[in-house]
Structure 1
Amino acid sequence: MNALTILYRGPLASCDYDCPYCPFAKRRDSPAQLRADRAALARFTAWVADAPRTLPDTAVSVLFTPWGEGLVRSWYRRAIAELSRLPHVERVAIQTNLSGRTAWLDECELDTVALWTTYHPGQVARERFLARCAELLERGVRFSVGVVGLPGHLAEARAVRAALPPEVYLWVNAAEGHRYTDAEAAHWQALDPLFHLSRHPHPSRGLPCRTGHTVVSVDGEGAVRRCHFVPEPLGSLYDGSFAARLAPRPCPLERCDCHIGYVHLEPLDLYDVFRGGVLERIPAGWPAPPG
């Protein structure tokens, strides 16, 4: 069976947090903008449900990567639950700050759904975030926990790592624009044995990458691109024009510095490192040390 991974990012840009280090430009979505996002997501969900007709013998996986916080919106919760129950969907995951309630996950197929969660010190009390994690553990939901590796976050990251059970992987994203001394990096590496992957951008021009072949990015209008970081369109999801352009191709960019991009670079062999957990960012065999 073939496989296609889709990174979906609709027009939603509002968030209930206001992190000063967030690279995404946030806005307060108007009712009209929220309606447009809801309609776009419903159209996308319907396409995935009908994918066996468009792409026969293809397993589909979906990672939602919204500019804002999706799980505070009922239509994202409903879409994930619906997609998780489709037999041709292998995985459906979302990046989230975990601020919302978790009871909706009872409607999901737990073998399919997963969460990529991020703890934001200063935006939520540690105890509240850990309580949400405890709810996920009680429900048997697959999830990872992450933090941005800013110096002021180190003590909180250590406290969260100590409070979480060993089976929960805690990842660390290198802070954008921050240069780490080896001593600083060692502190983060002690928390996340894969921090070195995030510390420096990866040279990527000319290297083989799964994006544009078995991985694509889709926006709210259905425009298909190889990834979020390469603007050239491959076609439309909804008229099927993208399918003929799916093919192996090298990366056109000088470097790739975001996990949702470089995890697909073939020379890094990260599909082996994250086997079974690429979308939710969980290493294979965790908590055993990778490699």
Structure 2
Amino acid sequence: MEHLTILYRGPLASCDYDCPYCPFAKRRDTPQQLRADRAALERFTEWVADQDHRVSILFTPWGEGLIRSWYRRALAELSHLPHVERVAIQTNLSHRVSWTSGADPSKLALWATYHPGQVPYERFLGKCRELTERGIRHSVGIVGEPGHLEAARRLRAELPAGTYLWVNAAEGRAYSEEEAACWTALDPLFPLSRRPHASRGLACRTGETVVSVDGEGTVRRCHFVPAVLGNLYDGSFRDALAPRPCPQDTCDCHIGYVHLEPLGLYDTFAGGVLERVPALLGQM
């Protein structure tokens, strides 16, 4: 194995926001659940440190990870490992970003989402500008709800020119051509998110060079296919890694369809697949 990309999702399910479109809004983990999540993450971090092949990691917690010290510490520590090419996390940026000073900015990246109504606009924008000043790679996104359009337009106008603003289609929403055009004007790649991708039978990197791992170390090809390939910690997953077509009818999440080979998105996001930063940002 030369390089493995891991999507890690531990048991953490609590978040400090209460977005109406999220089932994990304002959910609280018990102290016991938080201890279990911390132990699982520390075990995973130790496993990555012991590897002798290149690794890239995207943390995709159900909740908000960066309000927890163990996620900030893990990201910083992993960024300094020579065989780790990229370590990234999906976050609402509610926590201060000064912790990034302890990380290697050439390895660390953040996938940030703005949630109108959950945080003052200026506070979120200030965090984005601070990340830029600190040299931390990041993308900024928003859910394409009708009520978010003006906030998205303001973000695009006021974010640093080099920051990619992505728009996720709201789940289950059918966009008119006029609505889609408004969102595409802000994010030229919005059409990728607008409709689920027919995926059954298509070649996909998941299960070969990309895997999903949970807090127990259970390895699956991705978050959206339940079949188990093995376990990370006993090494049983390694023999199961192989090219295989997608078994699902559709794939409608960026962290899934970005790995579908016929879409060619490894070229579109070359160098920024995990943090959702397009390679030709300046030409969009």
Range class of TM-score, shorter chain:
over 0.9
Assess if the C-alpha contact under 8 Å between 1:168 and 1:287 holds in 2: no
Could you say which residue in structure 1 is the equivalent of 2:177?
Answer: 182
- CA deviation string 1:60-110 (max 9, x = no partner): 000000000000000000000000000000000000000101111000001
- CA deviation string 1:195-238 (max 9, x = no partner): 00000000000000000000000000000000000000000000
Task: After TM superposition, list the pairs within 5 Å mapping 1:63-78 onto structure 2.
Answer: 63-78=58-73
Could you say which residue in structure 1 is the equivalent of 2:86?
Answer: 91
Assess if the C-alpha contact under 8 Å between 2:17 and 2:25 holds in 1: no
Q: Which amino acid aligns with 1:186?
A: A
Q: Quick one: percent identity of the two aligned structures?
A: 73
Could you say which residue in structure 2 is the equivalent of 1:192?
Answer: 187
Q: Which amino acid aligns with 2:4?
A: L
Write the distance in 1 (CA, Å) between the matches of 2:133 and 2:258.
Answer: 29
Write the distance in 2 (CA, Å) between the matches of 1:287 and 1:24.
Answer: 35
2:229 is paired with a residue whose SS is: strand
| More divergent stretch after superposition (25-34 vs 252-261) | 25-34
Assess if the C-alpha contact under 8 Å between 1:3 and 1:59 holds in 2: yes
Task: After TM superposition, list the pairs within 5 Å mapping 1:1-20 onto structure 2.
Answer: 2-20=2-20
Could you say which residue in structure 2 is the equivalent of 1:271?
Answer: 266
Could you say which residue in structure 2 is the equivalent of 1:82?
Answer: 77
What is the RMSD of the two structures over their aligned residues, measured on CA atoms? 1.0
1:287 is paired with a residue whose SS is: helix
Does residue 1:235 correspond to 2:230, yes or no?
yes
TM-score (norm 2): 0.99
Task: After TM superposition, list the pairs within 5 Å mapping 1:1-291 onto structure 2.
Answer: 2-24=2-24, 27-52=27-52, 58-289=53-284
Distance change >3 Å, CA 11–CA 25, structure 1 → 2: farther
Write the distance in 2 (CA, Å) between the matches of 1:41 and 1:34.
Answer: 11
Could you say which residue in structure 2 is the equivalent of 1:55?
Answer: none
2:277 is paired with a residue whose SS is: coil
Assess if the C-alpha contact under 8 Å between 1:72 and 1:100 holds in 2: yes
Write the distance in 2 (CA, Å) between the matches of 1:50 and 1:87.
Answer: 11
Assess if the C-alpha contact under 8 Å between 2:19 and 2:25 holds in 1: no
2:8 is paired with a residue whose SS is: strand
Write the distance in 1 (CA, Å) between the matches of 2:204 and 2:95.
Answer: 35
Write the distance in 2 (CA, Å) between the matches of 1:188 and 1:175.
Answer: 11
Deviation at 1:25, TM superposition (A): 7.0
- Runs of 5+ in structure 1 lacking a partner? 53-57
Deviation at 1:26, TM superposition (A): 6.2
- CA deviation string 1:241-264 (max 9, x = no partner): 000100000000000000000000
Deviation at 1:51, TM superposition (A): 1.2
Which 4+ residue blocks in structure 1 deviate beyond 4 angstroms? 23-26
Q: Which amino acid aligns with 1:50?
A: D
Assess if the C-alpha contact under 8 Å between 1:169 and 1:287 holds in 2: no
Assess if the C-alpha contact under 8 Å between 1:203 and 1:254 holds in 2: yes
TM-score (norm 1): 0.96
